[in-house]
């Protein structure tokens, strides 16, 4: 199985400051069609996960543009340009290139 | 408005069975892949199963293969997860999600399954 490793596992950020979360995969996530099926999901407290980013850097409709994704092959990053109070929660990377689909351990974001 | 509503959860004893349902609305259910994912208490997410448009192609995680079966009824806009031989470690919130090639784009609110004697 592809192992997804996130860092850090916990992040305390001052409101208005940037934040970034790293995700590394144990093998390349480039699919046979040339796409990279790397997703970022946000899970606010008590809520189901919500997709923020798909295919590394495509933002889900309605997601604020302060969220962005970057990376290639095995190394990926979720960037939050200016953290807001509503961004508190756990963020997961997820790969959909190889079966079984796998998730990172999650990164808990809190406000300092 | 797209909606996924899970049901069928509850408290069962080890070795018993349960069937989860997911009612879909607000989109063309038969035109989309679907998946089940779970989250044990205080833990991360675990993908469980995936089914194609017509149900002809399915994938299951090794942790549930042979015990859990994903299925769908496009006429009823419903997704199912038949869970047999349940174990304590199957205790979790179970989510259904609309899936695509390599992604899960909309999730239900989840249903709780507790396996305990």
Q: Which residues of chain A have pLDDT under 50?
A: none
B62 touches chain A (CB under 8 A): yes
Q: Which residue of A has its CA nearest to B96?
A: A48
Question: What's the pLDDT at B11?
Answer: 98
At A101 the three-state DSSP class reads: coil
CB contact under 8 A, B44 and A101: no
Dihedral angle over CA of A97, A102, A108, B2, nearest 10: 70
3-state secondary structure chain B: CCEEEEECCEEECCCCCEEEEEEEECCCHHHCEEEEEEECCCCCEEEEEEECCCCCCEEECCCCECCEEEEEEHHHCEEEEEECCCCHHHCEEEEEEEEECCEEEEECCCEEEEECC
- Nearest chain A CA: its distance from B12 CA (Å): 23
Residues in chain B: 117
Question: What's the pLDDT at B9?
Answer: 97
Question: What's the pLDDT at B33?
Answer: 97
Position B68 confidence tier, pLDDT thresholds 50, 70, 90: very high
Q: Which residue of A has its CA nearest to B94?
A: A48
Question: What's the pLDDT at A91?
Answer: 98
Residues with Cβ within 8 Å of B46's Cβ and at least 6 positions away in sequence, in order, are A103, B37, B38, B39, B40, B61, B63, B92
At A52 the three-state DSSP class reads: strand
CB contact under 8 A, A39 and B102: yes
Question: What's the pLDDT at A69?
Answer: 98
Over residues B17-33, the mean pLDDT reads 97
Over residues B66-89, the mean pLDDT reads 98
Question: What's the pLDDT at B25?
Answer: 97
Which two tokens mark B3? 């909606």
Question: What's the pLDDT at B104?
Answer: 95
Going by C-alpha positions, the residue among A111, A89, A100, A102 that lies closest to residue A38 is: A102
How are beta strands A10-13 and A107-111 bridged, if at all?
A: parallel
Over residues B48-62, the mean pLDDT reads 95
């Amino acid at each position: 199985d592809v192992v997804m490793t996130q860092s850090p596992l916990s992040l305390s950020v001052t409101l208005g400051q940037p934040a970034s979360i790293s995700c590394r995969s144990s093998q390349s996530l480039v699919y046979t069609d040339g796409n990279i099926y790397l997703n970022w999901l946000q899970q606010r407290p008590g809520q189901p996960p919500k997709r923020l980013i798909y295919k590394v850097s495509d933002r889900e409709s309605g997601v604020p543009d302060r969220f962005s994704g970057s990376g290639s092959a095995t190394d990926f990053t979720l960037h939050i340009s200016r953290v807001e109070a509503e961004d508190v929660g756990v963020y997961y990377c997820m790969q959909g290139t190889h079966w079984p689909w796998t998730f990172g351990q999650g990164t808990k974001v809190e406000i300092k | 408005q797209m909606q996924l509503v899970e049901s069928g959860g509850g408290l069962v004893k080890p070795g018993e069975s349960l069937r989860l349902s997911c009612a879909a609305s607000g989109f063309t259910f038969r035109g989309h892949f679907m998946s089940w994912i779970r989250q044990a208490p205080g833990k991360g997410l675990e993908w469980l199963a995936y089914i194609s448009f017509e149900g002809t192609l399915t994938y299951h995680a090794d942790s549930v293969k042979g015990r859990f079966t994903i299925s769908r009824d496009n006429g009823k806009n419903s997704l199912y997860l038949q869970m047999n031989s349940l174990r304590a470690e199957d205790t979790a919130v179970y989510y259904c999600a609309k899936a695509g090639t390599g992604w899960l784009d909309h999730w239900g609110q989840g249903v709780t399954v507790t396996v305990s004697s």
